[in-house]
Amino acid sequence: MASCGSGSTAASSTPSSPGPASAGQAGPAGTPGAGLSASASGEAVVRSVPSPSPWAEQRLARAVSNHGGKTATAPANRVTARVGAIFAHSGKGDHFCTGSVVQSQGQSIVVTAAHCVHSGKGGGYNTDIVFVPGYRDGTEPQGEWPIRSIVVDQRWIDSSDADLDVAFLVLGTVQDKPIASVLGGNRLGVNFGFGRTVALTGYPANAGEPIACFNTTSQQSDHQMKIACPAFPGGTSGSPWLTAFDRATGTGTVIGVIGGYQQGGDTPDVSYSPYFDDDVLALYNQAVAEGG
């Protein structure tokens, strides 16, 4: 993110964690040109990948033309099970943002928007929170996961830089298990460019079920993406932008989250995300270093 200056610094908070409740493509590894990161997380991070074949692009174009940009209730499956609501206090409180599990060495990382967990310039951390994956209408199929650490970029703290509106949460365990060992996780993707077809899944603050939409991203600015997906209101901040989904493995790549410009958008029909680049990778590696 050239607009943010060179280098990357991160800050983290270690909240007092609430106790858990009862316990819910990029190219495959080694694909030529997939550009797997050499970070501590190994294949959990994918750098830019090749464009799809012309046949695949035509198929995607038809799918977007026929079905893209439509929002509906998200189905309950192994993909959406990795997406969860972020609650104040406990699952009996209010959910106000969305997060999703990404692969990591410690199997304990959730990605969301920075503004969900730190109010930016002049503010502080929101530490009294839990992550509830797969939440639906009061049910918690995989329980409540405590937040052990919150990692945001120091430049978000100092200036509410919209290009750095990304956070990684390092979770505690439930029944001695890290979350990705239970649910799996999607890869983190950096430097994927613009014009990618992605699926969004998020939790409106006034609804008990997640919603989903897919469409093709476009460039809002040098370090911001946007997408037209109707009726993504408050509460969907932090929703993952999942691309290159592999049905065989049930794994995709998260290349954005609702956030950034206008903290994700002033209207519910157009959403924004910071562009995931090496600054986001550095932030992720900080979370991995903290045990994620």
Question: Tell me: the pLDDT tens digits for 234-245?
Answer: 999 999 999 988
pLDDT at 29: 28
Give pLDDT, residue 52.
62
pLDDT band at 61 (very low <50, low <70, confident <90, very high): low
Domains and CATH numbers, the chain: 40-289 (2.40.10.10)
What mean pLDDT comes out for the span 56-77? 73
Torsion of CA 276, 279, 281, 285, to 10 degrees: -150
For 198, how many CA atoms within 13 A lie in the half-sphere containing its CB? 28
pTM (two decimals): 0.85
Q: State the DSSP string of the chain.
A: -GGG-SS--EEEE---PPPP-----PPPTT-TT--B--STTGGGEE---PPPPHHHHHHHHHHHHHHTT--EEPP-STTGGGEEEEEESSTTS-EEEEEEEE--TTS-EEEE-HHHHB--TT--B--SEEEEET-BTTB-TT--EEEEEEEEEHHHHHH--GGG--EEEEE--BTTB-HHHHH--BEEE-S--S--EEEEEE--TT-SS-EEEEEE-EEEETTEEEEE-TT--TT-TT-EEEEEEETTTTEEEEEEES-SGGGG-SSTTEEEEE---HHHHHHHHHHHHTT-
User: Is residue 81 within 8 Å of 134, Cβ to Cβ?
Assistant: yes
How far apart are alpha carbons 261 and 178 in whole angstroms?
32
pLDDT per residue as tens digits for the range 182-215: 999 999 999 999 999 999 999 999 999 999 999 9
- What integer pLDDT is reported at residue 127 of this predicted model? 87
Residue 138: pLDDT over 90: yes
Per-residue pLDDT at 37 exceeds 70? no
Residue written as token pair 């945001």: 152
Distance CA 93, CA 88 (A): 6
What pLDDT score does 16 carry? Answer: 42
Smallest CA-to-CA distance from 170 within 111, 128, 218 is with 111
135 versus 93: the higher-pLDDT residue is 135
Residue 168 confidence (pLDDT): 98
Give me the amino acid identity at 73.
Answer: T
Determine the Cα–Cα distance for residues 255 and 131; give it in Å rounded to an integer.
20
pLDDT at residue 14 tops 80? no
- CA dist 1 and 3 (Å) reads 5
